[in-house]
Amino acid sequence: MTQRQNDQTIADVGEFALIDLVREQLGTSDYVLVGPGDDAAHIATADGTYVTATDILIEGRHFRRDWSTATDIGRKAVAANLSDINAMGGVATALLVAFAAPGDTPVSWVTDLVSGMVEECAKVGARIVGGDMSAADQVVISITALGDAERPVTRSGAQPGDQVAFAGTLGLASAGYGALSRGFRSPKAAVDEHRAPHPPYAAGPAAAVAGATSMIDVSDGLLADLGHVARASKVAIDVDPTSFEVLDAVQTVAGALGGVDPLGFVLSGGDDYALAATFPADATLPEGWTRIGVVRSGEGVTVAGAPWEGGRGHRHWT
Annotated binding site for substrate: 62, 271
Q: Which residues are annotated as a binding site for ATP?
A: 131-132, 155, 219
Strand residue runs (E) in 117-230: 127-135, 140-148, 163-167, 214-218
Q: Which residues are annotated as a binding site for Mg(2+)?
A: 39, 54-55, 84, 132, 217, 220
Alpha-carbon distances, residue 153 vs 72, 205, 206, 226 (angstroms): 29, 9, 11, 14
- CA terminus-to-terminus distance, the chain: 24
Strand 300-303 vs strand 236-239: parallel, antiparallel, or unpaired?
Answer: parallel
The Cα–Cα gap between 225 and 268 comes to 9
The Cα–Cα gap between 73 and 63 comes to 7
Strand 32-34 vs strand 41-45: parallel, antiparallel, or unpaired?
Answer: antiparallel
Strand residue runs (E) in 69-193: 91-101, 127-135, 140-148, 163-167
User: HSE-up of 139 (CA within 13 Å, CB side)?
Assistant: 22
The Cα–Cα gap between 210 and 286 comes to 7
CA dihedral sign of residues 58, 63, 69, 73:
negative
Q: Which residues are annotated as a binding site?
A: 39, 54-55, 62, 84, 131-132, 155, 217, 219-220, 271
Going edge to edge, which strands form the sheet with 214-218?
214-218, 274-279, 163-167, 289-296, 236-239, 300-303
Backbone angles phi, psi at 159, to 5 degrees: -125, 145
